[in-house]
Amino acid sequence: MEKDLEMRSGMPTYAVKTAISTLLEEAALTRALLDDNFTAHFGNAIVCLFTRLIGSGLTFEQLKDMFPGIILTVFAFSYSFDIANQAFAVEEDSTNKPNRPIPSGKLTRDGAYRRWLLSWIISLALVGLEVGFRAALVLFAWEVWVALFYVWPKFQNWVARNLFTAVGATIQLRLLDGVLEKTLPSFRANSSLTWLLFTWLVWTIHVQEFHDMEGDERVGRQTLPLVVGHRGQFPLRVVTAMIIGGTGISSIVLAQLWLTSNPVLLCLGLGHILFMLTVAVRLVVLPFKEADKITYKYYYTLATYSLLLFHQHTERLGSVGGNATELW
C-alpha cells in the first residue's frame, strides 16, 4: 500500500521533469533550425522596424504593447521558412551545411515534416489572434511563397531565386507594419523603404550563392553563378561588385554628404559607403568558399542595413544638414 502511494506521488514529478526535458530539447532544436538565417531574418526585422519607428512618436507604453506582436511575427516568419527549407533540401544541406539538424541526425525528415505542417497552421492562428486577420493573411502569403520555391513545384532558375528573397523581405516588412498599424492606428507605411529593399535584393542577393555552389550543383539548382559557368564567375563577381560599390557611391553623391553638418547622418553615410566598398572588394579579391560565406553573412548584411538606414534618414530629414534631433 505504502509503495503504491509512493509510486503515485512520484508520477507527477516524473511527468513534470519529462515535460521540461522535452521542451528544452525542442528549444535547442529550434535554435539549431533558425541559427543559419538568424542574422538575416532577425537583423532585417530590427533594422526595418527601427526605420519605421523614427519620427513615429511612439511612447514607451506603446512599444511594450507592440513587443509580443513583434517577437511573434518575426519568429513565425523565420520558422516558417527554415523548417520548410531544411525539410525539403536535405541533399543540398548534406554538402553545404552538414551541421544542420537533419544532416547531423538531430532531427528526422518525418519529424521535420510534422513540424512544418503544425508550425504553419499554429503560426497563422497565433498571428491572427495577436496582431489581426490582415497580418495572418500576409503570413499566409509568405507560406504560399515558400511552398512554391521549396515544396512544390520548386522553382529553380536564378531569377526566381533572387525574386524569392526580394519578395520575402518585403513580406516581412509588411508583417511588421501590421503590428505598427495595430498599435498606432494613424500609422501609414512609407512605400519607399519597400521598393528600396526589393530593388537592392533583386540585383544583388546572388552574393549568397557563391559559397553554396558545390551543393547547388549537386542538387541541380540553377543559381546565377552556376548559370554563367566557371569562366563567367569572375566577370559576374566584377559586375556585382560594381553594382554594390556604385550603389554606395551614388548614395553619397546624391545626398551630398560632404555638405552636411549633421553628425548622425555623417556617421551613417560613412558606414554605408565603407560596408558597400568592403563587399565589392571582397567579392573580387577573395573568391573562395569560406571568404564568400563571411562576405555574405556579415559584410553584405551590414551593407544592406546601412543602405536602408541611410536612405530612410536622408528621406526623413528632407534635406542635408538637418538638425540631428530630427532623427530621433
Lowest-confidence segment of 20-34, 235-249, 250-264 by average pLDDT: 250-264
Instruction: Report the pLDDT value the prediction gives residue 326, as an integer from 0 to 100.
Output: 39
Give the integer Cα–Cα distance in Å for 102 and 265: 45
Res. 91 pLDDT band, cuts 50 70 90: confident
- DSSP per residue over 78-118, as a string? HHHHHHHHHHS-HHHHHHH-TTSTTTTTSS-HHHHHHHHHH
Instruction: Find the angle CA(162)-CA(159)-CA(163) to the nearest 5 degrees.
Output: 40
Residue indicated by cell numbers 509510486: 7
Give the integer Cα–Cα distance in Å for 47 and 89: 29
Helix axes 38-53, 191-204, angle to 10 degrees: 150
- Looking at every residue in the chain, the average pLDDT score rounds to 88
Cell for 141? 502569403
Q: Is the pLDDT of residue 321 over 70?
A: no
Residue indicated by cell numbers 530621433: 328
Q: Closest by alpha carbon to 295, among 241, 258, 217, 229?
A: 241
- DSSP per residue over 29-93, as a string? HHHHHHTTTHHHHHHHHHHHHHHHHTTS---HHHHHHHHHHHHHHHHHHHHHHHHHHHHS-HHHH
Lowest-confidence segment of 2-11, 27-36, 189-198, 289-298 by average pLDDT: 2-11
Instruction: Report the pLDDT value the prediction gives residue 119, as an integer from 0 to 100.
Output: 97
What percentage of the chain reaches a pLDDT higher than 70?
Answer: 92
Q: Is the pLDDT of residue 8 over 70?
A: no
Q: Is the pLDDT of residue 306 over 60?
A: yes
Q: Is the pLDDT of residue 325 over 70?
A: no
Instruction: Find the angle CA(254)-CA(260)-CA(266) to the nearest 5 degrees.
Output: 85
Give the integer Cα–Cα distance in Å for 144 and 118: 15
φ/ψ of 152, rounded to 5, equals: -160, 135
Name the burial class of residue 233, with classes exposed (0-12), middle (13-18) and buried (19+) by CB atoms within 10 angstroms of its CB.
Answer: middle
Chain segment 223-255, per-residue pLDDT in tens = 899 999 889 999 999 999 999 999 999 999 988
Instruction: Report the pLDDT value the prediction gives residue 3, as an integer from 0 to 100.
Output: 53
Give the integer Cα–Cα distance in Å for 68 and 123: 14
Domain spanning 27-189, CATH class: mainly alpha
Q: Is the pLDDT of residue 317 over 90?
A: no
What percentage of the chain reaches a pLDDT higher than 90?
Answer: 61
Is residue 312 a contact partner of residue 224, using CB atoms and an 8 Å limit? no
Give the integer Cα–Cα distance in Å for 88 and 4: 49
Sign of the C-alpha dihedral, residues 63, 68, 73, 74?
A: positive
Instruction: Report the pLDDT value the prediction gives residue 322, as an integer from 0 to 100.
Output: 41
Residue indicated by cell numbers 547531423: 104
Cell for 64? 511594450
Residue indicated by cell numbers 553615410: 269
Res. 286 pLDDT band, cuts 50 70 90: very high
State mean pLDDT over 146-155. 92
Higher confidence at residue 227 or residue 11?
227
Lowest-confidence segment of 28-42, 243-257, 263-277, 306-320 by average pLDDT: 306-320
State mean pLDDT over 152-175. 91
Instruction: Report the pLDDT value the prediction gives residue 319, as an integer from 0 to 100.
Output: 40
Sketch the domain layout of the chain as residue ranges: 27-189, 204-317
State mean pLDDT over 33-45. 88
Radius of gyration of the chain (CA): 23
DSSP state of 152: S
Instruction: Report the pLDDT value the prediction gives residue 11, as an integer from 0 to 100.
Output: 62
Q: Is the pLDDT of residue 68 over 80?
A: yes
Give the integer Cα–Cα distance in Å for 33 and 206: 22
Higher confidence at residue 191 or residue 122?
122
Chain segment 50-64, per-residue pLDDT in tens = 888 876 777 888 889
Instruction: Find the angle CA(49)-CA(54)-CA(58) to the nearest 5 degrees.
Output: 85
Is residue 304 a contact partner of residue 200, using CB atoms and an 8 Å limit? yes
Instruction: Report the pLDDT value the prediction gives residue 1, as an integer from 0 to 100.
Output: 53
Give the integer Cα–Cα distance in Å for 60 and 150: 40
Q: Is the pLDDT of residue 281 over 80?
A: yes
Chain segment 172-214, per-residue pLDDT in tens = 999 999 999 998 888 887 788 899 999 999 999 999 999 988 8
